[in-house]
């Protein structure tokens, strides 16, 4: 009997392909919302990354009647009391882009020395069954420091500003293979993989 498909709560095909590669040896079929008819837009009004990941997983799973894996992620800056947090994608406003978000972050941290520019990328992932019951959760964290100006053109979001202290390079300067090994999302996905295999592998 084939395993039930796992729907990734995103339209991003790269996310789906990344997880599909990890789950293929276990016989778990992976699809994104781009390949599913009737998906809904879930309102992300939670107070934390975990709140939003749970909302997206539970509501979409119940609506579609399928297994659903959803994540929510962003950056928390120590000097800003954890902001932008769940507002990372819209830090500079609802219609802003990455450049606007980066400019605003740099403005707010202007003049601070490196030791006060600590930050963490966070990702929370939630696995829900077709009835909407949560069957697994994990959190991934990657610590770094916000540099005074963008460096590198790889990645997206705050990557050109987020430096891994030990490597003295931003995610914008590091290649995708290194980011995949270190990133908050990759760490969260690796942590939840056993739960997915336990529930869905055949």
Residue set of the binding site? 10-15, 72-73, 156-159, 179, 184-185
Q: Which of 54, 42, 17, 49 is nearest to 32 (CA)?
A: 17
Beta carbons within 10 angstroms of residue 22's beta carbon: 16
Return binding residues for Mg(2+): 72
Candidates 72, 97, 98, 129; catalytic one: 72
Return binding residues for substrate: 10-15, 73, 156-159, 179, 184-185
Per-residue CA distances from 70 to 49, 54, 173 (Å): 11, 7, 28
d(CA 172, CA 167): 12
Active site residue 72: yes
- Indicate which residues carry an active-site annotation: 72
């Amino acid at each position: 009997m084939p395993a039930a498909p796992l729907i990734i709560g995103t339209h991003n095909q790269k996310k789906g392909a990344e997880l599909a590669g990890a789950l293929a040896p276990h016989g778990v079929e992976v699809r994104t919302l781009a390949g599913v008819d009737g998906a809904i837009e879930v309102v992300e009004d939670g107070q934390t990354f975990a709140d939003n990941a749970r909302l997206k997983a539970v509501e979409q799973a119940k609506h579609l009647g399928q297994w659903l894996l959803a994540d929510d992620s962003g950056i928390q800056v120590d000097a800003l009391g954890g902001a932008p947090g769940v507002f990372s994608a819209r830090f500079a406003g609802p219609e802003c882009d990455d450049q606007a978000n980066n400019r605003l972050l740099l403005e707010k941290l202007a003049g601070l020395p490196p030791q006060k520019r600590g930050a963490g990328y966070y990702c929370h992932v939630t696995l829900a069954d077709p009835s909407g019951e949560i069957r697994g959760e994990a959190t991934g964290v990657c610590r770094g420091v916000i540099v005074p100006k963008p460096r590198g053109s790889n990645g997206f979001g705050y990557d050109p500003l987020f430096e891994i202290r030990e490597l003295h390079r931003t995610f914008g300067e590091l290649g995708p293979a290194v980011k995949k090994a270190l990133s908050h999302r990759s760490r969260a996905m690796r942590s939840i993989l056993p739960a997915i295999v336990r529930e869905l592998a055949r």
